[in-house]
């Protein structure tokens, strides 16, 4: 099911190491934040639909760590990890992000939850260590995974009402 009522916008300006993602949700910042930080809920929406998600660790607090694995139908696994640097409930999360398949290529992500009066605008700004690293991430199929994840998140928060 694709949710097009609130499309996901992904911006990656050529020649910059940044990716910006914006999506509006028909849910409060508290609801979107909870779905983004509760490991049981995160496992229901993060990643492409066809992949299983296994959470190894997901400790959303200042200095907390996370690690999860996406497994495709062929059994191939893709692990990701990072550290939560700043957590402000229903307002902002700053964290690192690293795909273990490209060790040392760590990006810094800031997610903000803007209150639109009962709705939420989620804005994620990612800073990659280089333009080449950012471009490789985009070429890896990131866009499809991001759009799928955002649609799944919208479905989850809508179902929780």
CATH assignment of the domain containing 126? 3.30.530.20
The domain in which residue 154 lies consists of 9-160
Helix (H, G, I), strand (E, B) or coil at 84: strand
**Burial tier of 63 (Cβ tally within 10 Å: 0-12, 13-18, 19+):** exposed
Q: Is residue 144 part of a domain?
A: yes
Q: How many domains does the chain have?
A: 1
Tell me if 48 is assigned to some domain: yes
Give 45-81 as a 3 state SS string.
Answer: HCCCCCCEEEEEEECCCCCCEEEEEEECCCCCEEEEE
pLDDT for 2 equals 42
How does pLDDT run along the chain (161 residues), one tens digit per residue?
444 578 999 999 999 999 999 999 999 999 999 999 999 999 999 999 999 999 999 999 999 999 999 999 999 999 999 999 999 999 999 999 999 998 999 999 999 999 999 999 999 999 999 999 999 888 888 888 999 999 999 999 999 87
Q: Considering the domain boundaries, does residue 3 fall inside one?
A: no
What pLDDT, on a 0 to 100 scale, did the predictor assign at position 80? 96
pTM of the model: 0.92
Closest CA to 127 of 21, 7, 1, 6: 21
């Amino acid at each position: 099911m694709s949710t097009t009522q609130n499309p996901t916008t992904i911006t990656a300006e050529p020649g910059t190491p940044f990716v910006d993602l914006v999506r509006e949700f028909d849910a409060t910042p508290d609801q979107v934040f909870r779905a983004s930080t509760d490991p049981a809920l995160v496992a229901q929406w993060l990643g492409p639909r066809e992949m299983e998600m296994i959470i190894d660790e997901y400790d959303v607090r200042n200095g907390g760590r996370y690690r999860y694995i996406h497994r495709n139908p062929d059994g191939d696994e893709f692990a990701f990890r990072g550290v939560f640097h700043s957590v402000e409930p229903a307002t902002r999360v700053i964290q690192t992000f690293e795909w273990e398949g490209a060790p040392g290529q760590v990006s810094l992500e800031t997610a903000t939850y803007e209150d639109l009066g009962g709705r939420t605008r989620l804005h994620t700004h990612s800073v990659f260590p280089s333009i080449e690293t950012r471009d490789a991430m985009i070429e890896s199929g990131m866009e499809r995974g991001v759009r799928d994840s955002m649609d799944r998140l919208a479905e989850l928060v809508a179902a929780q009402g």
